[in-house]
Amino acid sequence: MSILVDKNTKILVQGITGAQASFHVQRALKYGSKIVAGVAPNKNDKTYLGLPLFGSVNEAAEKTGATASIVFVPAKYAKSAIIEAIHAHLSLVVVITSGIPVRDMMEIREELSKSSTILVGPNTPGIITPQEAYMGIFPSDFHQKGKIGIISRSSTLTYEVVLEINQLGFGESTIVGLGDDLILGSNFIEMIKLFNSDTDTDAVILIGGIGGNYELEIADYYSAIDFKKPIFALIQDDFSLLSQNVGLASDIMCRGISSSEDKRKILEKAGICVVDTISSLKEKLAELC
Q: Enumerate the domain spans of the chain.
A: 10-120, 142-286
Query: What's residue 260's pLDDT?
Result: 84
b/e 118-127 (16+ beta carbons within 10 angstroms → b): bbbbbbbbbb
| Residue 150, helix vs strand vs coil | strand
How many Cα atoms sit within 13 Å of 258 on the Cβ side? 20
Q: Considering the domain 10-120 in this protein, what is its CATH number?
A: 3.40.50.720
For residue 273, count other CB atoms closer than 10 A to its CB.
Answer: 18
Q: Which of 135, 141, 140, 144 is nearest to 166 (CA)?
A: 144
Give yes or no for residue 250 having a pLDDT over 70.
no
Is residue 288 very low, low, confident or very high in pLDDT (cuts 50, 70, 90)? confident
Q: Give dist(CA 29, CA 174) in Å, integer.
A: 18
Give yes or no for residue 257 having a pLDDT over 80.
no
The answer to whether 81 and 15 are in contact (CB under 8 A) is yes
The answer to whether 246 and 210 are in contact (CB under 8 A) is yes
CA–chain centroid gap for 262, Å, is 24
Give yes or no for residue 219 having a pLDDT over 50.
yes
Q: Give dist(CA 145, CA 148) in Å, integer.
A: 9
Query: What's residue 155's pLDDT?
Result: 87
What is the residue-averaged pLDDT of the chain? 91
Q: Decide whether 10-120 matches 142-286 in CATH topology.
A: yes
Percent of the chain with pLDDT over 70: 92
Give yes or no for residue 285 having a pLDDT over 80.
yes
The answer to whether 187 and 132 are in contact (CB under 8 A) is no
How many Cα atoms sit within 13 Å of 50 on the Cβ side? 6
**Mean pLDDT throughout 22-38?**
97
**Mean pLDDT throughout 152-160?**
92
Query: What's residue 258's pLDDT?
Result: 64
Is residue 247 very low, low, confident or very high in pLDDT (cuts 50, 70, 90)? very low
Q: Is the peptide bond before 41 cis (omega within 30 degrees of 0)?
A: no
Is residue 213 very low, low, confident or very high in pLDDT (cuts 50, 70, 90)? confident
Q: Considering the domain 142-286 in this protein, what is its CATH number?
A: 3.40.50.261
Diameter of the chain by CA atoms?
58
The answer to whether 79 and 62 are in contact (CB under 8 A) is no
pLDDT tens digits, residue range 95-146?
999 999 999 999 999 999 999 999 999 999 999 999 999 999 998 788 999 9
Is residue 239 very low, low, confident or very high in pLDDT (cuts 50, 70, 90)? very low
DSSP code for 74: -
Helix, strand, coil % in the chain, rounded to nearest 5: 40, 20, 40
Query: What's residue 149's pLDDT?
Result: 98
**Mean pLDDT throughout 158-175?**
95
Give yes or no for residue 148 having a pLDDT over 60.
yes
Q: Give dist(CA 15, CA 40) in Å, integer.
A: 6
How many Cα atoms sit within 13 Å of 80 on the Cβ side? 9
pTM of the model: 0.92
Is residue 237 very low, low, confident or very high in pLDDT (cuts 50, 70, 90)? low
First vs last C-alpha separation in the chain:
21
